[in-house]
Structure 1
């Protein structure tokens, strides 16, 4: 595998930004890690999103994501978005425009990754789980699958508990409910459209996680709406041991086209 730290200027944010990128490399003599390159000119890609207190380095620092994806022939793009909840902030930067429009375009221009829907996936933890579902449900034509690990899928709890910070991100509760930031409303809209090509969704959460009830409520709503959701729960807290194990399950679940090694 090839690992790159990419620092670049974002026209959308008006500041320098960063992402870490893992790219497949076909190897036969590397010790201790099986690797598979893609036979395609452009690699399938997983956009892997961080949580509220983290950045673009965290998945590499807390998990073995590079080793997990090595046999799969898939690229991984890990961007930094601060504490933005992947939103165009009321008082701050336009991180939604950045993550949904500018970043994929730049990543495809910098690296040999595919723009095809069937090759594009997104996953994240906590705030990143929210971001992953928001991307997939906002752009079902771009993503084949999305995974949320301990996701903050109903951000109402964040608005209620962090009023000052949430006001800078979303505005008040009235601004949030029914908006494009409201994943419950977004799910209802996608279901009402009867979209035949909704992305596959994977949701998991530990039963000891403070976001467990939040996840159960979202699961129930998604299932009532008939969304293509795979749901898993089990022992676990809001911590990296759980996420390190679960990202491996996500990679097994992704509808990847298998590459010959």
Structure 2
């Protein structure tokens, strides 16, 4: 595998930002890795970080590079700060960045596919929210998305960080039933002709467990198909390192 640490300028954000990219490399004598490469365009996974993290965290806390070495999959890990992958009321347009500009930049830098069947997103906590938002909002562009201990309802963020919440969403009233609300997006998604494949998991000791259960019941009422798994686990990296391996097994690669 090759690791690219990219600094680049974003027209959407009006500033320089960063992403890490894991890229397939065929090797013959690299200890512990065989690698997989092809002459065509590669499927791509946008792997999203959580609230207190950055673009480097998946590489620092998991063995993601080793896990994808035989999959022929490009992994893109962008930096979005504490934006909740949203166009902020008082701040930058991070939703436009991650949903529109970032894929265009990645496709211009690397030979990745633009087919929805080859385009995936996954993330943990705030990144799980971002991944679900991409899948529910853009089913014509994302074939599958995965949420690991995801924030399904940022209302808890409003309770803990009300001023920061208002900088992003304006107010709780403005957030509800908006394109930032996963419950609202799921209702729109239920009527879409194309359906992104959805995967969710959450540890039973996670503080977001009950919120995830409420969102799952909402999907059931809407008859939206999904895969959900739970087992003992908290909001921590041991759990996420285990579950990202499951996500990679689940991704519909090669379709």
Q: Does the aligned pair in 1 maintain the 2:183–2:215 contact within 8 Å?
A: yes
Alpha-carbon distance in 2 for matches of 1:230, 1:150: 14
Q: Does the aligned pair in 2 maintain the 1:57–1:78 contact within 8 Å?
A: yes
Is residue 216 of structure 1 aligned with residue 213 of structure 2?
yes
Gaps of 5+ in 1: none
Gaps of 5+ in 2: none
- The CA deviation at 1:176 is 0.2
1:1-261 → structure 2 map (5 Å cutoff): 1-37=1-37, 39-191=38-190, 193=191, 195-257=192-254
- The CA deviation at 1:16 is 0.3
Q: Does the aligned pair in 2 maintain the 1:49–1:132 contact within 8 Å?
A: yes
Alpha-carbon distance in 2 for matches of 1:41, 1:170: 41
TM-score (normalizing by structure 1): 0.96
Alpha-carbon distance in 1 for matches of 2:250, 2:119: 14
Alpha-carbon distance in 2 for matches of 1:184, 1:34: 42
Count of residue pairs the alignment pairs up: 255
Alpha-carbon distance in 2 for matches of 1:210, 1:34: 39
- The CA deviation at 1:196 is 3.4
Bigger shift: residues 224-233 or 62-71: 224-233
Q: Does the aligned pair in 2 maintain the 1:136–1:146 contact within 8 Å?
A: yes
Following TM superposition, where does structure 1 have runs of at least 4 consecutive aligned residues deviating by more than 4 angstroms?
A: none
Q: Does the aligned pair in 1 maintain the 2:27–2:33 contact within 8 Å?
A: no
TM-score (normalizing by structure 2): 0.98
Alpha-carbon distance in 1 for matches of 2:202, 2:32: 31
